[in-house]
A and B are shown apart, each in its own frame.
Chain A
Amino acid sequence: MANLLELNNVNHYFHLNTVHETHVLQDIQLTMKEGEFVTIIGGNGAGKSTLLNSIAGTFPVTSGNILLNQEDITKKNVVQRSQFISRVFQDPKAGTAVRLTVGENLAIAACRGKKRTLSRAKTAKNRSFFIEKLKGLNMGLEEKIDTEIGLLSGGQRQSITLLMATLNKPKLLLLDEHTAALDPKSSHIIMNKTKELIDQQHLTTFMITHNMEDALNYGQRLIMLHQGKIVVDLDETAKKNLTVADLLTLFQEQSGHSIQDDALLLQ
């Protein structure tokens, strides 16, 4: 099968040519097949978010190129890439517009990848579609369709962001520690919803997590990032037989640090 995503020799520096220069992504070579669900772990500051942001187009990478479906998207910005790529952020506040209602937020997400026009954003038709989708979350959020997002809890907001990201099927779904800011119970619920939505739509997914168990339990492939380099890349079979303890040892071997030094949390 053809590669859905291809990163060729991607390097990224912050504050290039200044005293603050940091080489955050170093010669990243990565391919993802269509339908693949990849989890990614690594210590604080390893460059995980930067890797995700460079795929999303938050900033132009310093060098290298990025292909999506064989098309070079290196020079495209976030808005242009959003046609194919959707994402859920770590901060539950980041993914939704607070002053708009749940329905209005969904209406905005429903236009992702389409041209916005002067037709009504909220119609009876898309309303019943949104209610169906909200019911699918099993959280009673269909009753909150006219509630301002700002009045909802972090977990509720994160599930709505997840729904928004998958409302129009994206070619690639990016998740950046999207359960990290939630309490363990909500975090668990959202992880299950995530898996459900990914399985239903066969989404190609790239998920950063700080939770080793989640990294092992979800997805078909596991990548470990350390100091801007991919140091471990395990396929489904290799991953299947791995325990959290194995993962910790692996991490220690690769990074030369014990897990306590790097705030890789266990939950």
Chain B
Amino acid sequence: MLNFLTHLPSIFISSVSQGFLWSFLAVGVYITFRLLDIPDMTTEGSFPLGGAIVSILILQGASPVISTSLAVLGGMLAGLITGLLHTKLKIPALLAGIITMTGLYSINSRIMANSATLSLIQQPTVFSWFEKILKQPHLSIIILGGMLLLILLPLLYLFFQTEIGLAIIATGDNLTMSQANGINTNSTQLLGYMLANGLIALSGALLTQQKGFSDLNAGIGTIVIGLASIIVAEVLFKQKPLLTRLFTIVLGTVVYRLILAFILELPIQANDNKFFSALFLAGCLCLPLLQQQEKKLKKGVTYHG
């Protein structure tokens, strides 16, 4: 415990920096999961895809910014494929995502020249310039990540305020109504898929550069990380308008990283971590229900049978 307390400042700062980079993924998952009301498993393929593209391009000498941008494009393409499987071939959303995710594993492996990891040690990254000036890796991640979030989230919000953006939200809310009002719901779903997976690949590309290597298996569990961050945000900050919601997701992601860091400090076996993470997630998910019950009890209303 003492150990944990002395580690606290560094745990905190690394959770914030990690949380910032993971929050692009969480916002991407939010677009499909909440706005479009579609469970999209593509995440677990488009996240490592972002890492694979950025690492191979940087190793080939491309600039980190261009490599990261191409990683985003790659993610959007993956989203497009799941979207086409779902909208054109009428494959249920969950399966469509799993198909793309499965196929991407081989594609990612090819991109990474058939190796399971690619090291970026001694290679330039998008963080290099800040690191040189600040001499503080975590701080430069927080600053660059924070700046990106401050630019991208308001832009995303503005997009959802446009006629096309609002049509995407309507599609997730009420498909029948959307079609009756002339919204081509296939197009809006495709757009949502692309936007979401572009952000997820961005997250993968940034985290790869931060960690210094890409990992073919980095996608495992990413959907849970995204969902958990969203749920933490929704439990801590209820009923928020979209712009606020996007920023609370960043906070939710940071809080989730902190909780994970805390679980890591517990005197448990390394492989038991996931179990406690799952337990925590289940707890968060049933929290709204518990709060409701509490309210009912306070009002003196009880239900029998």
Interface residues of A (CB under 8 A from B): 56, 78-79, 82-83, 86-87, 89, 93-100, 104, 107-109, 111-114, 116-122, 164
- The residue in chain B whose Cβ has the minimal distance to the Cβ of A94 is B176
In this complex, which of B167, B169, B180 has the most chain A Cβ atoms within 10 angstroms of its Cβ?
B180
Contacts of B164 in A (CB 8 A): 116-118
How many pairs of residues, A versus B, come closer than 8 Å at their CB atoms? 80
Interface residues of B (CB under 8 A from A): 159, 161-167, 169-170, 173-174, 176-185
Give Cα distance in the complex from A33 to B184, angstroms: 29
User: Dominant SS at the B interface?
Assistant: helix
* A164 pairs with B161, CB closer than 8 A: no
* A121 pairs with B161, CB closer than 8 A: yes
Contacts of A95 in B (CB 8 A): 177, 180
Give Cα distance in the complex from A111 to B174, angstroms: 16
Query: With A82-B179, A95-B177, A164-B181 known to touch, is A108 a contact of B170 (CB < 8 Å)?
Result: yes
A112-B182, A116-B164, A117-B162 given. 11 additional CB < 8 A pairs? Answer: A78-B179, A82-B180, A94-B174, A97-B169, A97-B174, A97-B177, A111-B167, A116-B183, A118-B159, A119-B163, A121-B162
Query: With A99-B173, A100-B173 known to touch, is A79 a contact of B167 (CB < 8 Å)?
Result: no
Shortest distance in angstroms between B166's beta carbon and chain A's nearest beta carbon? 4
Give Cα distance in the complex from A200 to B206, angstroms: 58
Contact of B167 among A113, A116, A119 (CB under 8 A): A116
Give Cα distance in the complex from A98 to B174, angstroms: 8
Contacts of B179 in A (CB 8 A): 78-79, 82
Contacts of A120 in B (CB 8 A): 161-163
Shortest distance in angstroms between A82's beta carbon and chain B's nearest beta carbon? 4
* A100 pairs with B169, CB closer than 8 A: yes
Contacts of B169 in A (CB 8 A): 97, 99-100
* B181 pairs with A111, CB closer than 8 A: yes
Interface pairs (7), CB distance under 8 Å: A79-B179, A82-B182, A94-B176, A97-B170, A97-B173, A97-B177, A111-B167
* B163 pairs with A117, CB closer than 8 A: yes
Give Cα distance in the complex from A116 to B184, angstroms: 10
- The residue in chain A whose Cβ has the minimal distance to the Cβ of B34 is A99
Shortest distance in angstroms between B7's beta carbon and chain A's nearest beta carbon? 42
Shortest distance in angstroms between A216's beta carbon and chain B's nearest beta carbon? 28
Contacts of B161 in A (CB 8 A): 120-122
* B163 pairs with A111, CB closer than 8 A: yes
Shortest distance in angstroms between A69's beta carbon and chain B's nearest beta carbon? 17
Which 3 pairs show the lowest CB-CB distances between chains A and B?
Answer: A97-B173, A82-B182, A116-B163
Give Cα distance in the complex from A124 to B176, angstroms: 28
Shortest distance in angstroms between A99's beta carbon and chain B's nearest beta carbon? 5
